[in-house]
Amino acid sequence: MKAARPPAPSFAALDARAAEAGLWALGGFHARADDDHLPAGTETVVLLAPREPGFWARVSAEPEFADTRPDPLDRWSRRAVGRLACAFSAKALFPFDGPPWRPFLSWALRTGRLHPSPVGMLVHDEAGLWVSLRGALALRQRIDLPAPTPSPCETCTGQPCRTACPVGALGGGPYDIDACRDHVTAPEGADCMEAGCRARRACPASARYPRAPAQSAFHMRAFTGAP
């Protein structure tokens, strides 16, 4: 005998609960028969992002950041998203679990709220190129989801992200990860290391999004392996 499925939450109720944890229910998609990266019985997937303003001040004060163990943000994400999953009888999924890796970038595009940008990274109409994902909830119910939003790049005059990288690592072609890392770890790359990628910052939508520079610095240190 199959277990009864819990009542379907509204997207607004899920987002309100996510806000209590410092997260943002960014959007979602409905599962298809060929979604072999999802737990059996999944009907809806909701993606979770840092909630701004104030995410970094909140999360960096959590216990994971006070010990000496590695990957504090990922460990916090497991705890916060895991609690949300329990609250909604869902499964917690993470972009940093693997291999095999779950296709979070493809999932993000399926929400209709994230889009490819001219420099290859995903862009969001509110978060710009600062958009990031901390996890997802795989729900056993089909719920109504927010409508798709247009890409901010469609109306972006000049698309300054294309020319903002000082070493041309991002510009529409393949991402030159070695050039990026070499620059960021050199003295002349201190601005990128401490304030975040210039291409991301050049995006007008990013400029309106209240992400703390300390958060960008944390990710840059993780990217480069710097202490």
DSSP assignment of 130-179, as one string? T----EEEEESS----PPP---GGGG-SS-GGGG--TT-S-SSS---HHH
Contact criterion met (CB below 8 Å) for 82 and 92: yes
Residue 90 lies in a domain: yes
Domain annotation covers residue 103: yes
pLDDT of residue 5: 64
Q: Which domain holds residue 39?
A: 11-224
Residue ranges, the chain, pLDDT below 50:
1
Q: How many domains does the chain have?
A: 1
- Edge-first strand order for the sheet with 44-50 is 23-30, 44-50, 135-139, 91-93
Question: For residue 134, is it within any domain?
Answer: yes
Whether 141 is covered by a domain: the verdict is yes
Alpha-carbon dihedral sign for residues 169, 213, 18, 144 = negative
What pLDDT does 8 receive? Answer: 87
For residue 25, the model assigns a pLDDT of 98
Is 6 part of any domain?
A: no
Under 8 Å between Cβ of 205 and 181: no
State both tokens at 88: 């909604």
Q: Give the three-state DSSP class for 35.
A: coil
> Is 171 part of a structural domain of the chain?
yes
pLDDT tens profile 121-160: 999 999 999 999 999 999 999 999 999 999 999 999 999 9
In a domain, 5, yes or no: no
Q: What pLDDT score was predicted for residue 171?
A: 77
Q: How high is the pLDDT of residue 169? A: 95
pTM of this structure: 0.94
Check: CB of residue 151 under 8 Å from CB of residue 123.
yes
